[in-house]
Amino acid sequence: MRREALEVVANEGIGPYHLIRVKRGALHPGDPGQFFMLEAPGRVLPRPMSVCFAHASELAFLIDPIGPGTRALCELRPGDAIHLLGPLGNGWRLDVERPLLVGGGIGVAPLPYLSERLGRPPALLGFRSEWHAEAAALVPNAEVVLEPTYVTEALPGGYDVLACGPEPMLEALRALVPDAQLAWEAPMACGYGACYGCAVEVDGVLERLCVKGPVLAAA
């Protein structure tokens, strides 16, 4: 884990989301599903974001501007400073035989990096509209379903499911695929185990999601 002050390279709108590309500096991108705390200096406190792409000289993050922190990040322009801390948490186990990536809404964010690392397996993505579904272009080999259809209605059997999305989607997947690896969310203040702001119950025990997760096996 390192903290670095870096520079924004690009900010591209994709449907309602923003793909923010950042100079990578000396940061290690971590494994798919790990995250960084991103801070627009002087504006708001850091917010957790998954790595969307990792290239030799850049990291990219796909951000949904839903509140003050994410909006401040989405307002950054090329040349602006951005602070990154990470990589943090635990990502997906990659030793799976028949991967199927499943994403819902902004849960698509970590899937491009996961797809590259797994050799571009099939993906099933759910969105609430065509506009939101523009983000599906970032994930190779993706089938898209739009509401009112849910990914759980289109889910083929026989795959190792690796998923990220809204909590109701993850709960429904957990019921259908008990051994799915699911990336969960909780509000995070520090990102590295110091504040207990992200505590969630896992198998009856209170755990810090930033340390134990964000990816947890459902079983």
Ligand X SMILES: Cc1cc2nc3c(=O)[nH]c(=O)nc-3n(C[C@H](O)[C@H](O)[C@H](O)COP(=O)(O)OP(=O)(O)OC[C@H]3O[C@@H](n4cnc5c(N)ncnc54)[C@H](O)[C@@H]3O)c2cc1C
Cβ–Cβ under 8 Å, residues 99 and 121: yes
- Beta bridge partners, 63, equal 18
Question: Could you give the string, one character per residue 143-182, with x where binding to ligand FES holds by CB under 6 A and - elsewhere?
Answer: ----------------------------------------
Q: If 0-12 CB within 10 Å is exposed, 13-18 middle and 19+ buried, where does residue 217 land?
A: middle
Q: Which residues contact 188 (CB under 8 A, 6 or more apart)?
A: 37, 47, 48, 197, 198, 209, 210
CA dihedral 41, 45, 49, 54 (to 10 degrees): 20
Q: How many residues bind ligand FES (CB under 6 A)?
A: 12
Out of 66, 176, 195, 219, the only residue in the binding site for ligand FES (CB under 6 A) is 195
Written as one string, the DSSP assignment of 67-92 is SHHHHHHHT--TT-EEEEEEEESB--
Q: Tell me the C-alpha distance between 21 and 78, whole Å.
A: 9
CA-based torsion, 22, 13, 66, 51: positive or negative:
negative
Interacting span for ligand FES (CB under 6 A) from 3-11, 112-120, 124-132, 184-192: 184-192
194 binding partner (options ligand FES, ligand X, none; Cβ < 5 to 8 Å by kind): ligand FES
Residues in 46-65 that interact with ligand X by CB under 6 A: 47-50, 61-64
Q: Which is nearer to ligand FES, 131 or 196 (CB)?
A: 196
Out of 186, 189, 202, 217, the only residue in the binding site for ligand X (CB under 6 A) is 186
Interacting span for ligand FES (CB under 6 A) from 63-71, 113-121, 169-177, 186-194: 186-194
Bond preceding residue 214 cis, omega within 30 of 0: yes
Interacting span for ligand FES (CB under 6 A) from 71-79, 128-136, 160-168, 183-191: 183-191
Cβ–Cβ under 8 Å, residues 80 and 42: no
196 binding partner (options ligand X, ligand FES, none; Cβ < 5 to 8 Å by kind): ligand FES
94 binding partner (options ligand FES, ligand X, none; Cβ < 5 to 8 Å by kind): none
Task: Catalog residues that contact ligand FES under the rule CB under 6 A.
Answer: 188-191, 193-198, 208, 210
**Residue numbers of the site for ligand X (CB under 6 A)?**
35, 47-50, 61-64, 66-70, 106, 109, 185-188, 214
